[in-house]
Amino acid sequence: MIITDQQRRWWFATHPEFSSRGRGQRSENYGGSYDQYEDSADSVEAYRRELWRQAIEQDKKGLEPDPHTFLDVAPFGRFITSPIQAFKSALRRLAENTVVSAVKKGKGTGGPGQWVEVGRSRLGLEHQSKMSGQPIRESGGKYHINEYKIPTATRPVYFDDFRDGVLYEYEGSYGKLLNKQKVFYPWVKGAKAARDQAWRQVKASQGVPVVWRVGSHQVKAFNRAIGKIPGLTVVP
Binding site for other proteins (CB under 8 A): 152-155, 157, 179, 181, 183-189, 191-192, 195-196, 199-200, 203-204, 219-220, 223-224, 227-234
CB of 189 to other proteins, least distance (A): 5
Letter for the amino acid at 127?
H
Closer CB to other proteins, 33 or 223, in the complex: 223
CB of 86 to other proteins, least distance (A): 53
CB of 167 to other proteins, least distance (A): 15
Instruction: Name the 3-class secondary structure at 214.
Output: coil
CB of 82 to other proteins, least distance (A): 58
Closer CB to other proteins, 73 or 198, in the complex: 198
CB of 171 to other proteins, least distance (A): 15
Closer CB to other proteins, 106 or 151, in the complex: 151
Measured in Å, how far apart are the chain's first and last C-alpha atoms?
Answer: 58
- The string of DSSP letters for 151-193 reads --SSS-EEESEEETTEEEEE----GGGB-TTSSB-TT-SHHHH
Helices (H) and strands (E) in the chain, counts: 7, 8
Closer CB to other proteins, 32 or 112, in the complex: 112
Q: C-alpha angle 15/17/19, rounded to 5°?
A: 80
Closer CB to other proteins, 73 or 188, in the complex: 188
CB under 8 Å to 64, separation ≥6 — which residues?
A: 58
Q: Are strands 210-213 and 166-170 parallel, antiparallel or unpaired?
A: parallel
